[in-house]
Amino acid sequence: MAVTLPANTQVYLNAIAARRTLYELKPELPADVTLENIQQVVQSIIKNTPTALNSQENRAIILIGDAHKKVWDHVVKAIPGENGKKRPTSARDEAYGCVIFFTEQNTVKKFQQDYPAAASAFPVAASHTTGAVQINSWTALETLGLGCHLQHYNDAVREALNNYKIPESWTVNSQLSFGIPIKSAGPKLFIENPVTIFK
Which residues here bind ligand FMN, judged by CB under 6 A? 20-21, 87, 149-152, 185, 188
User: Per-residue b/e over 78-104, b at no fewer than 16 CB within 10 Å?
Assistant: bbeeeeebebbbbbbebbbbbbbbbbb
Query: How many Cβ atoms are within 10 Å of 7's Cβ, its own excluded?
Result: 8
CA angle, 103 then 58 then 167, to 5°? 50
Residue 188 Cβ vs ligand FMN, minimum distance, rounded to whole Å:
6
Distance, in Å, from the CA atom of 14 to the CA atom of 172, rounded to the nearest integer, reads 29
The Cα diameter of the chain in Å comes to 57
Residue 148 Cβ vs ligand FMN, minimum distance, rounded to whole Å:
9
Residue 67 Cβ vs ligand FMN, minimum distance, rounded to whole Å:
21
| Residue 51 or 130 with smaller CB distance to ligand FMN | 130
Residue 138 Cβ vs ligand FMN, minimum distance, rounded to whole Å:
8
| Residue 188 or 199 with smaller CB distance to ligand FMN | 188
| Residue 22 or 42 with smaller CB distance to ligand FMN | 22
Residue 105 Cβ vs ligand FMN, minimum distance, rounded to whole Å:
20
CA angle, 41 then 183 then 189, to 5°? 90
Q: What are phi and psi of 33, to 5 degrees?
A: -120, 130
| Residue 21 or 163 with smaller CB distance to ligand FMN | 21
| Residue 62 or 150 with smaller CB distance to ligand FMN | 150
CA atoms within 13 A on the CB side of 40: 6
